[in-house]
């Protein structure tokens, strides 16, 4: 048995990934920040299907909490071989004139620094240099990193652009240590994140502009993540899968 840690696993893409990876035989570490009820529901669903999972409360923007989370994984006695960096925050849309330093720093600390910290701790456990058996990391980015988001979520898009740079650079750094690092770039997916900021119908409003004429489901992203973590993608690193309906 091996552990897959999924940050922000209590809902949306994280939840779908937790269920998918549990079905594929991983013991799933379900990270959450606030919503213990949702995290518990994920664990119960996995358990009822015969899988294994446990919860880990941690704010990934806080270094001490990230370290404590990985220490808790160490105490299980099972190796960590998969990390899905998924946790992130998205505020209501704003033009550049109305952005504050507080908001920008909050987005960057969670969406970028948190990914760096989790990657750092995962590499310490997976890499051959540290006695690990190797593994795989998938960073959840966004189509916004590629397309940009002027006048909407420019701080969010910038944070995801940084995640893409992290993914590409780290893939080169740790390839010889038995670790593959890839990314997925979801577009308009039906998740709570895209329903935030008082915009519950956002995906439905823009789906007609997409070549496939529909929004995506979290399960479709989860399947791509699971493939990147699997041996079926054993020669894939530093790559990105676009999940944006052709946009």
156 is catalytic: yes
Domain count for the chain, please give it: 1
Sheet of 80-85, strands arranged across: 52-57, 27-32, 3-6, 80-85, 135-140, 179-186, 240-243
CA distances from 239 to 55, 89, 192, 220, 242 (A): 29, 23, 26, 18, 10
Q: Could you list the residue range(s) of the whole structural domain that residue 82 is in? A: 3-243
Residue 30: both structure tokens together: 């379900």
State the Rg of the chain over Cα: 17
Q: What pLDDT is recorded for position 152?
A: 57
Residue 42: both structure tokens together: 């994920």
Q: What pLDDT is recorded for position 198?
A: 37
Q: What pLDDT is recorded for position 216?
A: 92
**Digit-coded pLDDT (tens) for 26-35:** 999 999 999 9
**Digit-coded pLDDT (tens) for 110-150:** 999 999 999 999 999 999 999 999 999 999 999 877 766 54
Q: HEC string of 137-188?
A: EEEECCHHHHHCCCCCEHHHHHHHHHHHHHHHHHHHHHHHHCEEEEEEEECC
Of how many residues is the chain composed?
247
Q: What pLDDT is recorded for position 145?
A: 72
Q: What pLDDT is recorded for position 149?
A: 53
Averaged pLDDT in 10-residue chunks for the chain of 247 residues: 96 97 98 96 98 98 98 98 95 84 94 98 98 98 72 81 97 98 94 51 81 93 98 98 91
Burial class (CB in 10 A: 0-12, 13-18, 19+), 138: buried
Q: Give the span between the Cα atoms of 168 and 26, in whole angstroms.
A: 25
Q: What pLDDT is recorded for position 197?
A: 39
- C-alpha dihedral sign at 103, 109, 115, 116: positive
> 182 with 239: CB under 8 angstroms?
yes
Catalytically annotated residue among 26, 115, 153, 156: 156
> 86 with 7: CB under 8 angstroms?
yes
> 11 with 37: CB under 8 angstroms?
no
Element (H, E) at 32: strand 27-32
Phi first, then psi, for residue 178 (nearest 5°) are: 85, 15
Q: What pLDDT is recorded for position 228?
A: 98
Three-class secondary structure of residue 217 per DSSP = coil
Q: What pLDDT is recorded for position 196?
A: 41
Q: Give the span between the Cα atoms of 186 and 218, in whole angstroms.
A: 9
Residue 141: both structure tokens together: 């980015």
Q: Give the span between the Cα atoms of 149 and 119, in whole angstroms.
A: 26
Q: What pLDDT is recorded for position 202?
A: 73
Domain harbouring 120, CATH code: 3.40.50.720
């Amino acid at each position: 048995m091996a552990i897959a840690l999924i940050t922000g696993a209590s809902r949306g893409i994280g939840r779908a990934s937790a269920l998918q990876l549990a079905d594929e035989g991983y013991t799933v570490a379900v990270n959450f920040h606030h919503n213990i009820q949702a995290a518990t529901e994920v664990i119960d669903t996995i358990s009822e299907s015969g899988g294994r999972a446990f919860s880990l409360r941690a704010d990934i923007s806080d270094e001490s909490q990230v370290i404590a989370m990985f220490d808790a994984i160490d105490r299980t006695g099972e190796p960590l071989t998969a990390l899905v960096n998924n946790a992130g925050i998205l505020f209501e849309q704003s033009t550049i004139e109305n952005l504050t330093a507080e908001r920008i720093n909050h987005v960057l600390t969670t969406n970028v620094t948190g990914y760096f910290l989790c990657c750092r701790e995962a590499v310490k456990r997976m890499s051959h240099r540290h006695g690990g058996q190797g593994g795989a990391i998938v960073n959840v980015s966004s189509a916004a990193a590629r397309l940009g988001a002027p006048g909407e979520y420019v701080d969010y898009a910038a944070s995801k652009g940084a995640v893409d740079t992290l993914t590409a650079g780290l893939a080169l750094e740790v390839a010889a240590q038995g670790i593959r690092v890839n990314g997925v770039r979801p577009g308009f997916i039906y998740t709570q994140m895209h329903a935030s900021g008082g915009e519950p119908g956002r995906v439905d409003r823009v789906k007609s502009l997409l070549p496939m004429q529909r929004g995506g489901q979290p399960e479709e992203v989860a399947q791509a993540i699971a493939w990147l973590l699997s041996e079926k993608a054993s020669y894939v690193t530093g790559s990105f899968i676009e999940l944006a309906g052709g946009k």
